[in-house]
Chain A
Amino acid sequence: MRSKVSNNRLAAILSDGFLGLYFIFALFPLLWMVLVSLKSGEELFTTQFVFTPTLENYQAILFGDPRAAAGVVARQEFPRFFMNSLIVSSGAVILSLFVGVPAAYALARYRFRGKEDLAFTFLSFRFAPELVVIIPLSVLYRQLGLYDTYWGIIWVYQLVTLPLLIWVLRSYFEDISPDIEQAAMIDGYPWWRIFWSILLPLVRPGLAAAALLAFVFAWNNFIFALVLGGSNVQTVTVSALGYISSAQAFFNRMAAASVLASIPQIVLALSIQRYLIRGLSFGAVKG
């Protein structure tokens, strides 16, 4: 009996030990990003944990680099890139909500021919290699004048945001018992009143969470703005590359920009934690 108890203790200690190691692996790069963002140019090369922290990197990317005049690449455009990301990501989510919520409702509530094929087609956008669509769009957008415009990026971001919203919302609509609607229908409510005043309020928390998660994925996207956007709509993810691909590498500036571009994501994700699993699995896993 005693040996069994101590065996369990040992197993618990080993388990916690492995878990601890894994989380060092998972979290250390983020800690290092924060540390480097607080280092001055000289201390960057010491790779030490103890140093005098400075906010000069944040100051430089937000309000302009004091050395910019001396021929060093100016990187004070960060606020503009941040705004660009904000505009295209929220624009994409709003458009997806307008077109996706009704579609999710139709896919959840009606039986019609080709329904599963339609649903799978939307889902296949999520898995399609982006370049199949981007390469022809790079030509089409120049012809239509959509290249390097907010509308162009918002349109192509539908590949990211629309499948997610449709599939997650469909699973939320399916969770609601059809009895509620039937009762309202017997009372003489038209379908759109039922949809608007009964169903929508019921799925609202899930809807908000799915929209926020779609926002996160749009924000994180890189390849669409890389190919279909120029300097007008450059997003934070595309601009992040600029800090180290230029002649000089500004790792500390890049780290500061990375921290600022990641904080919104982490805050948003933590705020929708309860709904995260269903969102991440497109409604397949009801966490």
Chain B
Amino acid sequence: MEENIRPPWLVRARPWFIALPALLVLIGILYPFLTAVYYSMTAYALNRPGSVDTFVGLRNYVRMFTNEDFLYSSYITFAYALLATGIELTLGLIVAMLLNRDSRLAKILTPTLIFPMIIPPVIGTLIWKMMMQPSVGILNPMLNAVGLPSLQWAAAPETALFSVLLVDIWMFTPFVALILLAGLRSFPSAPFEAARVDGASFWFTFRNLTLPMLSPFIIIVVVFRLMDSLKMFDIIFAMTEGGPGNTLMTYQLTAYRTSIQFQRLAQGLPYAILLYIIIYITSMYLIKAWGRAQRRAAGY
């Protein structure tokens, strides 16, 4: 009844009114974002007063793309993200399938799965850093005990990427396993029963039933893990601050070092903005793919 008395534009605008407080927060966050785009086209450096007024166009972007370290920085950003996501996906899928069995061990261990991913990433990293440390660390004595030589871990350029990846895999494989386990448990049992009765092999069932039905869950996991590892800051910063040298200087770390540590605010921003564009496009594409996979898995 009440709906008919009100002017129609008021009814149409109602969702916007309800969302108004959140829209205000949205503006409060979009404003600094637009400022970032503007700053990136100036000569702004915190230690040079007045430099914010010097408009330089795309000079900072040109400087980024022609910087001799740019290629390496791109390589390390993508190597980290792709390796972390790929290994976590594989290991997480194995763990999820092993947990999805009628096993007492699996039942006991499942609740502890969340521990590594729920503690602060910085603290998880510091624990690993402590274990890798030459004088108080436990990892080198463990390696020596099985006859392997000691490693310098994150302190040596050769093993630095491996060391931070190890922490990332330790921290986030549980997330992958947990989401995929929820997926496995949501499956109807009938198709799997039918495959078993027909004597289908494990691989046949896995390829033709498990994987296709799991695909929406896999995409969700990839969205989260790929985006988070592309912009990973906490693990790398707590481990080496991007070192040794520039071994682990991803886009995020380069932006932080240039804009915040060296106070050359405008010069670091292109790295962060480039990363934002990459992440925005990739996540939009993946979320669309998720919608398709979900409809396909539902049988439409």
- Which A residues lie at the B interface, using CB under 8 A? 12, 15-16, 18-20, 22-23, 25-27, 29-30, 32-33, 36, 44-45, 47, 98-100, 102-103, 105-107, 109-110, 112, 115, 118, 120-125, 127-133, 135-140, 155, 158-159, 162, 166, 188, 190-191, 216, 219-223, 227, 236-238, 240-241, 243-244, 249, 251, 254-255, 258, 261-262, 265-266, 268-270, 273, 276-277, 280-281, 284-287
Q: Pick the contact of B179 from A15, A124, A262, A285 — CB < 8 Å?
A: A285
Task: Determine whether B49 belongs to the interface, using a CB cutoff of 8 Å to chain A.
Answer: no
Q: Which residues of chain B from 156 to 213 have a CB within 8 Å of any chain A CB?
A: 170, 173-175, 178-179, 182-183, 186
Given contacts A99-B22, A120-B284, A133-B36, contact A237 B260 (CB under 8 A): no
12 A-B pairs besides A103-B22, A237-B123, A241-B238 with CB distance below 8 A are A99-B22, A120-B284, A123-B287, A128-B280, A129-B275, A135-B269, A136-B33, A222-B121, A236-B120, A261-B119, A265-B119, A285-B183
What is the bound-complex CA distance between A102 and B23, given in angstroms? 11
Q: What residues on B are CB-neighbors of A25 within 8 Å? A: 170
Q: What residues on A are CB-neighbors of B95 within 8 Å? A: 19, 22
Interface 1/0 per residue, B237-272 and A, CB below 8 Å: 110000000000001100110011000010011001
Taking the closest CB of chain A, its distance from the CB of B128, in whole angstroms, is 6
- The residue on A at minimum CB distance from B280 is A124
Q: What residues on B are CB-neighbors of A158 within 8 Å? A: 25, 28-29
Most chain B beta carbons < 10 A, residue from A29, A131, A139, A276? A131
What is the bound-complex CA distance between A276 and B178, given in angstroms? 9
What is the bound-complex CA distance between A188 and B260, given in angstroms? 57
Q: Is B15 a contact partner of A106 (Cβ separation < 8 A)?
A: yes
Q: Is B269 a contact partner of A244 (Cβ separation < 8 A)?
A: no
Q: What residues on A are CB-neighbors of B223 within 8 Å? A: 127
- The residue on B at minimum CB distance from A135 is B259
Q: What residues on A are CB-neighbors of B238 within 8 Å? A: 222, 241
Q: Pick the contact of A45 from B112, B129, B136 — CB < 8 Å?
A: B136
6 A-B contact pairs sorted by A residue (CB < 8 Å) = A20-B105, A128-B280, A129-B279, A139-B35, A222-B121, A280-B175
Q: Is A102 a contact partner of B120 (Cβ separation < 8 A)?
A: no
Q: Is B260 a contact partner of A106 (Cβ separation < 8 A)?
A: no
- The residue on B at minimum CB distance from A245 is B241
Q: Pick the contact of B120 from A107, A188, A220 — CB < 8 Å?
A: A220
Q: What residues on A are CB-neighbors of B115 within 8 Å? A: 26-27, 30, 266
Task: Determine whether B138 belongs to the interface, using a CB cutoff of 8 Å to chain A.
Answer: yes
Q: Which residues of chain B from 113 to 140 have a CB within 8 Å of any chain A CB?
A: 113-116, 118-124, 126-131, 133, 135-138
Q: Is B182 a contact partner of A277 (Cβ separation < 8 A)?
A: yes
Q: What residues on B are CB-neighbors of A159 within 8 Å? A: 29
Q: Is B123 a contact partner of A261 (Cβ separation < 8 A)?
A: yes
Q: B56-64, B78-86, B96-104: which one contacts chain A?
A: B96-104
Q: Is B136 a contact partner of A110 (Cβ separation < 8 A)?
A: no
Q: B66-74, B147-155, B227-235: which one contacts chain A?
A: B227-235
Q: What residues on B are CB-neighbors of A285 within 8 Å? A: 179, 182-183, 217, 220
Q: Is A241 a contact partner of B112 (Cβ separation < 8 A)?
A: no
Interface 1/0 per residue, B21-53 and A, CB below 8 Å: 111111011001101100100000010000000
What is the bound-complex CA distance between A8 and B238, given in angstroms? 45
Taking the closest CB of chain A, its distance from the CB of B133, in whole angstroms, is 7
Task: Determine whether B1 belongs to the interface, using a CB cutoff of 8 Å to chain A.
Answer: yes
Taking the closest CB of chain B, its distance from the CB of A261, in whole angstroms, is 6
Q: Is B224 a contact partner of A262 (Cβ separation < 8 A)?
A: no
Given contacts A47-B136, A261-B120, contact A132 B276 (CB under 8 A): yes
Taking the closest CB of chain A, its distance from the CB of B58, in whole angstroms, is 17
Taking the closest CB of chain A, its distance from the CB of B29, in whole angstroms, is 6
Q: Pick the contact of A125 from B1, B29, B122 — CB < 8 Å?
A: B29
- The residue on A at minimum CB distance from B129 is A244
Given contacts A26-B112, A47-B138, contact A240 B21 (CB under 8 A): no
Taking the closest CB of chain B, its distance from the CB of A122, in whole angstroms, is 7
Taking the closest CB of chain A, its distance from the CB of B246, in whole angstroms, is 17
Interface 1/0 per residue, B276-292 and A, CB below 8 Å: 10011001100100100
Q: What residues on A are CB-neighbors of B268 within 8 Å? A: 131, 135
Q: Pick the contact of A33 from B22, B127, B186, B259 — CB < 8 Å?
A: B127
Q: What residues on B are CB-neighbors of A130 within 8 Å? A: 231, 233
